[in-house]
Structure 1
Amino acid sequence: MNLWLRNFLLLILMLAASGLALALRPTQKIADQGPAIDLETIIPTTFGDWHVEQQNSVQIVDPRQKEMIDKIYTQTLSRTYINSRGYRVMLSIAYGDDQRDSMQMHYPEICYPAQGFLLEGKEAGNLATGSGSIPVTRILTSLGQRNEPVTYWTIVGDRVFQGGLQKKLAEMRYGMTGKIPDGMLIRISSIDGETANAYDIQTQFADQMLHALEPEYRRKLNGNARIN
């Protein structure tokens, strides 16, 4: 094969690969197809035995972390709820309408140590709710005398995933259909020296919160949880 013909074939192959990549590039946002997401409106301020505590000084906010989160996510919600026994639970939800590689989620096991917390434990678990079982991650953090167990789960599109590999596979599945998935991270935590007690109460809190949501938003937050 002479040089001219070889270069010509290489050019054809390069153009074909470029055209295929362009054709497979996701262009349709899932966020534009479902119900509009407005976290302040979707999540009620009162549900079950819980109501928002209007004034509190429990949460620690690092301005640098907040700036990073604001760049990654379209919306964020941060509230502290209190029940009739005076127990406080912190809820943080971050939503991004474009959850591709360029918009990576900011995981608690990364952002807590970045604010000076010690990461003392991490395990996968399942959150049993009336609307199904949700795969979650639980981490134990501390800052001085402050012991803060955390439960969180992450969603890409309409499914909960655990770990970077599952997230990548979910993104690829959507990408092959020309869709850009949205994503959400729901984090629940409390300051409690009794870790098991904290996780039990966080489960109750999540169950009551999800029960209070409209069905289409419940499905969005629980990632179509498995019904046991």
Structure 2
Amino acid sequence: MKLATDRRRLLMGGAMLGIAGLGQALYPRRYTQPISSSQFEALFPHQMGEWSYAAASGLVLPPQDQLSKMLYEQLMTRVYTQDGSDDSDAIMLLAAYSSQQEGRLQVHRPEVCYPAAGFTINSSRDVTVAIGDGKSIPARFLVTQRGPRIENVLYWTRVGNDFPLRWAEQRIDMAIDNLHGFVPDGLLGRVSMISPDSDNALVTLDGFFRSMLGALKPPGRKMLIGDR
């Protein structure tokens, strides 16, 4: 009897070890290593076609609470002006990055941070932006307003090699990557400008995006648009 009991315990223990080992093998692992602030900023040149770096501030940012500090490993803000133009046509660039997207590290979308900063979202629609070779990625275009200031916002989110437009899509993309055994990295890219003419602003923002892609080296392009 004792021999049979010992055998059952041995079999149960082996099974539990096997399950634990399988769980460990299937546990999603990071596949992108963290990047330093200097490395991250070096991906984005100060000259992008006809656009030149002008300043590092003046952008709408998430409220500075404890949660927002946990959202990203890197957060870069810059203002670019077109050569020969005045500051009224400035483009504001924001790039927020995390080397691993988990449940608590959600991309902080402009639909959240702009209202938190006192803006009203007048309109929001899906658009696409060209990335060359006849390819494009999905993005969103928002028209926001706070008092007389009308800020037009073009943004996209990258989770691994996917471009979710909505929070639910983002969660699905993360879950699929987890099932394949890895934790994806994530980036929010945002370009915006102040203008009462939203149609013209979208054309200008799209042109800046293409100039930016043309100026980036391969690591910078991969940061913005993944392996597309």
User: TM class, shorter-chain normalised?
Assistant: 0.7 to 0.9
State the partner residue of 1:64.
Answer: 64
Report the RMSD for the aligned CA atoms in angstroms: 2.8
Return the alpha-carbon distance in structure 1 between the equivalents of residues 221 and 41 of structure 2: 15
Amino acid at match of 1:39: F
| TM-score, with length taken from structure 2 | 0.81
Find the residue that maps to 1:104 and give its secondary structure: coil
Within 1, Cα distance between the matches of 2:94 and 2:121?
A: 18
| Contact kept? 1:157, 1:181, Cα under 8 Å | yes
CA contact (8 A) 1:130 1:211 kept: no
- The answer (yes or no) to whether the contact 1:79–1:92 under 8 Å persists in 2 is yes
Amino acid at match of 2:26: L
* Secondary structure at the counterpart of residue 205 of structure 1: helix
Aligned to 1:43: 44
**Unmatched segments (≥5 aa) in structure 1:** 1-7
Q: TM-score, normalised by structure 1?
A: 0.81
Instruction: Answer yes or no: is 1:201 the counterpart of 2:200.
Output: no
**Residues 106-145 of structure 1 aligned to structure 2 (within 5 Å):** 106-130=108-132, 132-145=135-148
Q: C-alpha separation between the residues in 1 aligned to 2:158 and 2:28?
A: 18
Compute the displacement of 1:149 (Å).
Answer: 0.8
1:38 Cα shift?
Answer: 2.6
Structure 1 position 97, deviation (Å): 1.1
1:217 to 212, 215, 220: 220
Which runs of 4 or more aligned residues in structure 1 lie more than 6 Å from their structure 2 counterparts after TM superposition?
A: 16-19
Q: Following TM superposition, by how much is the alpha carbon of 1:176 offset from its aligned partner in structure 2, in angstroms? A: 1.8
**Deviations 1:23-82 (CA, angstroms, capped at 9, x unpaired):** 43212x121399x993210000111010111377x43456526x5433110001000000
* Aligned partner of residue 195 in structure 2, secondary structure: coil
Query: Residue 102 of structure 1: CA displacement?
Result: 1.8
Partners of 2:220 and 2:25 in 1: how far apart?
Answer: 32
Q: Which residue of 2 aligns with 1:3?
A: none
Identity of aligned residues (%): 30
- What do the CA deviations read for 1:90-130 (whole angstroms, capped 9, x no partner)? 00000011101121111001000001000111111101243
Larger Rg belongs to: 2
CA contact (8 A) 2:56 2:77 kept: no
Q: Which moved more, 1:194-203 or 1:80-89?
A: 80-89
Change over 3 Å in CA distance of 1:60–1:139 after alignment to 2: closer
Change (3 A) 1:62 1:69: closer
Question: Cα–Cα, structure 1 residues 121 and 205, in superposed 2: closer, same or farther, change >3 Å?
Answer: same
Q: Say if 2:126 and 2:139, in contact at 8 Å, map to a contact too.
A: yes
